[in-house]
Structure 1
């Protein structure tokens, strides 16, 4: 099964935004990972409490995900780069195939690789400028 979920970027207000969305839409916050939780964290002290990843499971099954973009890490939030489409796929083969096809004529931000949180993951923008996160999680596929 392939899933598609929105992934938002905020200028340091992810936690505030998600608490607001939860109060309006409902659902359950299922993950909060701060930059200080990352292995080999290089985040400046003033930003360690910011959100590296947050998930809000919405009623009906869609997962809204987000991160804080940090200028201290060389990131800059501008309208148009504040969202991604996060595509969860059923195999590493599918991840590689879809990532390669979406990357052709586009721009790879992060090549597909095994990540510390357990996913096989990559980020690319396609030739139309749509930003994609491709992920495969073997443990989730076995459920």
Structure 2
């Protein structure tokens, strides 16, 4: 039962952060200032919590398999994150998007969090 309580906690926080993100995003869209920055971070934390809920039974033991998932996940995520940065640089260069520094860093941080943990989930299904 101990493993289930950890998963339930992650699910609870995932839904809580998703609700906060939805509320802030709705307010930001109605004001015409989306993305604010912290709304995207909250969404990224929500995705991270849901991924941790799925991964909790596998990662709580910290065995060789979980270490391998983390290692491969970080390796694959590196290339995705590098791709995000290259795409963002091109979008800024050709003035296709107009974001402040805070918004840009928030988008990159959220995408990094989501990429790493989604990659962990995908790799955990393979191994």
TM (norm. structure 1) is 0.27
**Structure number with bigger Rg:** 2
Please state which structure has a larger fraction of its residues in helix: 2
Larger relative contact order (CA 8 Å, sep ≥ 6): 2
Please state which structure has a larger fraction of its residues in strand: 1
